[in-house]
């Protein structure tokens, strides 16, 4: 398996060569040259596999330059019942016949991002051990990405994490998740400013190519192909759990932001998983719903991004969306390049009335939006009707998923976080605090380790230099 860029400007590369890279040199995203095709016979064999065995079958098709026994070891270290507090890793909860929630949030930070990020941590450590290199991961977070990146990279050889967050702007729970980590390779930097200031610093440091190269600066953002490939696994797992035979079709409802999660569903469908609909749910930031309703993709300016009660879906630009358009155009890299010429300049493109727009429906996508009132009502309804408590993001997925539910087609709603992370909305919905999973009772009272800095890229650079002294350039 080799990888090419959605914009056509990268010679084909193996998995290990794209693992640590961000964007392709031409600004595009890495995509497999072709998707592995899963025949009905193979799908039948996979039905009875454990999560780990299924992960191996799928990932070995994408990461075929990692020796099988090494990959097996990485997967077995990543998907353990200790870390996920369940043997099934992603257990399926049935609300009523034909309506399910796929539990993706049992990892250490209680959000679905752990599933991909934990794999990334072990893949990075494996790759760096081979080359003897170091990596300094620089990131900005307003919530879920920071904790899951830190828990994935803590204690990993050759890796340091420098995570910027807006001081005092995250929930107490999320702040405590990150700041309570005492691992010497994790550096929490609270910035006097807002999330955009943090992101601007990451951009400024990454654009200083000399500095980036000298200090081996990398990222763990959601465009990383390894993250997408890890997420493909649970679409298969969820499908097998919700059906009895491979003649059945299911639909998935996916709370979406950067289009990473649902992109994995799209790839699973392209590989041959019998998915009828991929139901994309947005919150008040409805960039993606607008596209699937009208054909117009119009990323918003950061200032137009609304802060909502499902904050991990507050995006103005869906970084993985280009991967879908690449497939939609029949992998016409010139066309993708043309469309993103406008997007990269802050513009938009509109496929309405073109043959491409006609083709969107062939890929199974439908969409809808949710908002604060609908999300709170859905949390209450699911609790009253089924005795199950869901978080605000999962509630957005359920809201839009139920609108598109079809008779006789099982609907699987992806749970992207646990309610305990968003207790304010839960209290608003049901009048009481969400229960805490064991081990998290005392989180906010643990000693915290972080530094505070002004929103100043040079100060952050100086801090990185200070902490990495000893690395040769
Ligand atoms: C990241 C995140 C999302 C959005 O997922 P994408 O892959 O960016 O579409 C939804 N819900 C939660 C809780 C998240 O952390």
The DSSP string of 393-450 is HHHHHHHHHHHT--TTS-EEEEE-B-GGGGHHHHHHHHSSPPPPPTT-TTGGGS----
Please check whether residue 171 is in contact with residue 422, taking contact to mean a CB–CB distance below 8 angstroms.
yes
Nearest to 163 by CA among 188, 199, 134, 142: 188
Regions of the chain short of the pLDDT cut 70: 470-473
- Rounded CA-CA distance 157/185 in Å is 9
- Rounded CA-CA distance 342/353 in Å is 18
Assess whether the C-beta atom of 256 lies below 6 angstroms from ligand 1. yes
Q: Identify the bridge partners of residue 278 per DSSP, sorted by sequence position.
A: 252, 365
Assess whether the C-beta atom of 255 lies below 6 angstroms from ligand 1. yes
pTM (2 d.p.): 0.96
Point out the residues that are catalytic: 113
- Rounded CA-CA distance 127/18 in Å is 11
In CATH terms, the fold of domain 92-108+226-430 is Rossmann fold (3.40.50)
**Percentages of the chain per state (helix, strand, coil), in multiples of 5:** 45, 15, 35
- Provide the 3-class DSSP secondary structure of residue 279: strand
Å from CA of 256 to ligand 1 middle: 6
Q: Who contacts 412 (Cβ-Cβ below 8 Å, separation ≥6)?
A: 92, 100, 101, 102, 238, 239, 242, 250, 251, 252, 253
Assess whether the C-beta atom of 392 lies below 6 angstroms from ligand 1. no
Å from CA of 113 to ligand 1 middle: 7
| pLDDT of 470 | 59
Assess whether the C-beta atom of 257 lies below 6 angstroms from ligand 1. yes
Assess whether the C-beta atom of 417 lies below 6 angstroms from ligand 1. yes
Mutation choice for ligand 1 from 142, 416, 417, 426, CB with most ligand atoms inside 8 A? 416
Q: Which atom of ligand 1 is nearest to the CA of 393?
A: 11
| pLDDT of 473 | 40
Q: Which atom of ligand 1 is nearest to the CA of 148?
A: 15
């Amino acid at each position: 398996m080799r990888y090419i860029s959605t914009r056509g400007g990268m010679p084909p590369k193996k998995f290990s060569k794209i693992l640590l890279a961000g964007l392709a040199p031409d600004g595009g995203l890495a995509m497999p040259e072709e998707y592995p095709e899963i025949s009905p016979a193979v799908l039948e064999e996979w039905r009875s596999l454990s999560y780990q065995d299924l992960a191996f079958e799928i990932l070995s098709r994408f990461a075929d330059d990692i020796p099988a026994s090494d990959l097996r070891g990485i997967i077995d270290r990543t998907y353990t019942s200790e870390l996920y507090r369940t043997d099934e890793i992603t257990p399926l909860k049935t609300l009523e016949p034909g309506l399910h929630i796929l539990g993706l949030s049992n990892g250490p930070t209680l959000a679905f991002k752990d599933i991909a990020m934990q794999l990334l941590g072990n893949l990075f450590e494996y790759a760096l051990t081979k080359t003897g290199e170091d990596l300094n991961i620089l990131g900005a977070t307003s919530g879920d990405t920071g904790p899951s990146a830190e828990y994935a990279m803590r204690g990993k050889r050759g890796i340091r994490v420098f995570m910027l967050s807006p001081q005092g702007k995250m929930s107490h729970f999320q702040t405590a998740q990150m700041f309570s980590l005492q691992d010497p390779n994790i550096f929490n930097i609270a910035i006097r400013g807002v999330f955009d200031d943090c992101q601007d610093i990451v951009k400024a440091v990454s654009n200083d190519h000399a500095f980036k190269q000298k200090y081996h600066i990398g990222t763990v953002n959601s465009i990383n192909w390894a993250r997408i490939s890890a997420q493909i696994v649970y679409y298969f797992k969820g499908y097998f759990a919700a059906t009895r035979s491979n003649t059945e079709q299911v639909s998935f409802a996916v709370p979406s932001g950067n289009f990473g999660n649902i992109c994995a569903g799209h790839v699973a469908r392209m590989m041959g998983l019998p998915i009828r609909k991929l139901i994309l749910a947005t919150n008040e930031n409805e960039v993606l719903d607008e596209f699937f309703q009208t054909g117009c993709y119009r990323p918003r300016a950061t200032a137009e991004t609304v802060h909502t009660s499902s904050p991990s879906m507050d995006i103005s630009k869906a970084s993985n969306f280009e991967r879908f358009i690449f497939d939609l155009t029949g992998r016409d890299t010139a066309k993708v390049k043309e469309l993103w010429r406008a997007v990269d300049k802050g513009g938009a493109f509109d496929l309405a009335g073109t043959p491409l727009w006609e083709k969107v429906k062939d890929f199974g996508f439908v969409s809808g939006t949710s908002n604060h009132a609908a999300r709170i009502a859905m949390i209450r309804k699911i609790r009253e009707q089924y005795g199950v408590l869901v978080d605000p993001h999962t509630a957005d997925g359920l809201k839009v998923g139920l609108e598109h539910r079809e008779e006789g087609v099982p609907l699987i709603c992806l749970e992207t976080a646990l309610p305990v992370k968003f207790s304010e909305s839960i209290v608003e919905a049901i009048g009481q605090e969400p229960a805490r999973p064991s081990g998290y009772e005392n989180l906010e009272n643990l000693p915290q380790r972080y530094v505070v800095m002004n929103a100043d890229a040079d100060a952050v650079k100086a801090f990185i230099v200070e902490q990495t002294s000893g690395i040769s350039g």
